[in-house]
Chain A
Amino acid sequence: MPVSKSYNLDNYAAVQEFFHSHNWTDGLPVVPPTPEAVKDLLELSKISPEHLIGIEPVRSRAITAEKLAINAVMAGCLPEHFPLVCESFSAMLKEPFLLHGATASTGGCAVLVIINGPVRKQLGMNGTFNALGSSDRATTVIGRAIRLILCNLLDARPGDADRSTLGHPGKFSFCIAEDEENTNWLPLTEERDIPHGVSAVTVMAAGSPRQIMNEWTTSPEEILDTFVAEIKSCMRHYSIWPGNYAIVIPPQLRVHFEESRWSKRNIRRYVFEHARIKRKEWSDCGKTAVVGNKGEKEYTALTDENHLLVVAAGGPAGGFGAVIPPWFGTKSKAVTQPLGLCLDCGPE
């Protein structure tokens, strides 16, 4: 049985008020984390309560599966969702992710979780309609669990360890599944050295998505010029520093790349070469004071073309796309890792 401290409350409404009054929620109601529900979550996902997910490096906090499970139940997770919560949080604890900085910064990013592999279909994830906005139960509750864990285990509540000036709505939940079925592109994780058929998560400290539209060309270059313009806009208006950008490309635009035989690699190369601005462009948007004598200096959005995460997702109609900028340059790097080994299940 779980070992965490417990409380006996009168009824469902009392539970909600108790959790809200302790600042243990994200402002929405929670599923009561009863010992039975937490035990079921752990047992059915075959993870022991004391299993060490990792150590948060700044305050040396040992993060156990039981505490993740309590928050996952609160978020609405079913047992089958839980391994993804654990894997995502484990990835966030990897040094390159810089978890404390990303979650405490005034920059106000959210943790974007991208899911690839067979697990998406097994859990009913939907990388099509409304892909960036609560498209299905599994991605919604997994993303929410990540936020609750940050609040409750690392005190990343607004005004506490979370010092975000603005934040963005992705902080409620920011988890998507790549639409691997409706594309001939390689899944994101295969591009990041995860073997074919293996389920995996990618976590990224991400700003809010910026939607673009171009329904007036079939040229891959012109379509990418629209994405690049948005990235350059972000470099001018927000941060000039290079980092992991993600671009999300739905089917109506994807088809033009696929018909022209443009792979994700071609896309990454094109964006790498074109997403560049000169420092003097800051003068166009009120930042003359920081141009200094480096006006002609060129800045790239990506220091390496592999820093661009290209994700196939979105509903079938609409010439839209999205650019998801990094929290702040290369301070935090996207981390990809496969779901833990399962002896009984191989790749599909």
Chain B
Amino acid sequence: MTIEVLDPTYDGDTSSFKYAAGLENLKGATVGIISNGKKGTFHFFNALEDLLTKKYKAGEVIRVIKKNYSAPAEEEIMKEVKKWDAAIAGVGD
């Protein structure tokens, strides 16, 4: 005799979450970094900015810093994101 068991995981509808279309390249693009603001990340994001502008020719790199690195990005940041061509979730420690 078999045992029927139920799935304990979240199985809600996630269809509203979709990947954004990828960019062909970053030339002239506005790229935003949402930094979690931890001190140790600053050098890394500086280097990343350099890489994006010098090597990949991004038009502009914008860095915004969350007020609370353990909480989701604030509403103002999420409004700002909509103006960017690409966004990087800058989680670092």
Bound pair (A, B): yes
> Which size bracket describes the interface of A in this complex?
35 or more
A67 to B68, CA, bound (A): 30
B48-88 interface mask toward A, CB cutoff 8 Å, 1 = contact, 0 = none?
A: 00000000000000000000101110000000000000000
- Dominant SS at the B interface? loop
Interface stretch (choices A57-65, A115-123, A173-181, A333-341): A57-65
Q: Which residue of A lies closest to B13 (CB)?
A: A62
Q: Does A153 contact B (CB under 8 A)?
A: yes
Q: Residue B3 contacts which of A9, A62, A154 (CB distance < 8 angstroms)?
A: A9
Q: Which residue of B lies closest to A104 (CB)?
A: B70
A109 to B3, CA, bound (A): 35
**B11 to nearest A CB, angstroms?**
6
Q: Does A7 contact B (CB under 8 A)?
A: yes
**Cβ of B68: which chain A residues have Cβ within 8 Å of it?**
98, 101, 331
Given contacts A101-B70, A101-B71, contact A32 B3 (CB under 8 A): yes
A5 to B11, CA, bound (A): 8
The answer to whether B7 and A70 have CB atoms under 8 Å apart is yes
Q: Which residue of A lies closest to B69 (CB)?
A: A101
**Cβ of B5: which chain A residues have Cβ within 8 Å of it?**
6-7, 9, 15, 18-19, 32-34
A70 to B7, CA, bound (A): 8
The answer to whether A71 and B8 have CB atoms under 8 Å apart is yes
**Cβ of B2: which chain A residues have Cβ within 8 Å of it?**
8-11
**Cβ of B6: which chain A residues have Cβ within 8 Å of it?**
2, 4-6, 33-35, 38, 70
Q: Does B10 contact A (CB under 8 A)?
A: yes
A10 to B5, CA, bound (A): 11
Q: Does B9 contact A (CB under 8 A)?
A: yes
The answer to whether B3 and A152 have CB atoms under 8 Å apart is no
The answer to whether A74 and B8 have CB atoms under 8 Å apart is yes
A101 to B72, CA, bound (A): 8
Q: Residue B8 contacts which of A33, A100, A106, A332 (CB distance < 8 angstroms)?
A: A33
Q: Residue A105 contacts which of B9, B70, B72 (CB distance < 8 angstroms)?
A: B70
**Cβ of B70: which chain A residues have Cβ within 8 Å of it?**
98, 100-102, 104-105, 328, 331-332
A23-52 interface mask toward B, CB cutoff 8 Å, 1 = contact, 0 = none?
A: 010000000111100100000000000000
Q: Residue B72 contacts which of A6, A61, A100 (CB distance < 8 angstroms)?
A: A100
**Cβ of B9: which chain A residues have Cβ within 8 Å of it?**
24, 67, 152-153
Given contacts A62-B12, A101-B70, contact A34 B4 (CB under 8 A): yes
**A13 to nearest B CB, angstroms?**
10
Q: Does B93 contact A (CB under 8 A)?
A: yes
Given contacts A4-B11, A57-B72, A74-B8, contact A15 B3 (CB under 8 A): yes
Give 19 CB contacts A-B under 8 Å.
A4-B8, A5-B11, A6-B6, A7-B4, A7-B5, A8-B4, A9-B3, A11-B3, A32-B5, A35-B6, A61-B12, A67-B9, A70-B7, A98-B70, A101-B71, A104-B70, A153-B10, A331-B68, A331-B70
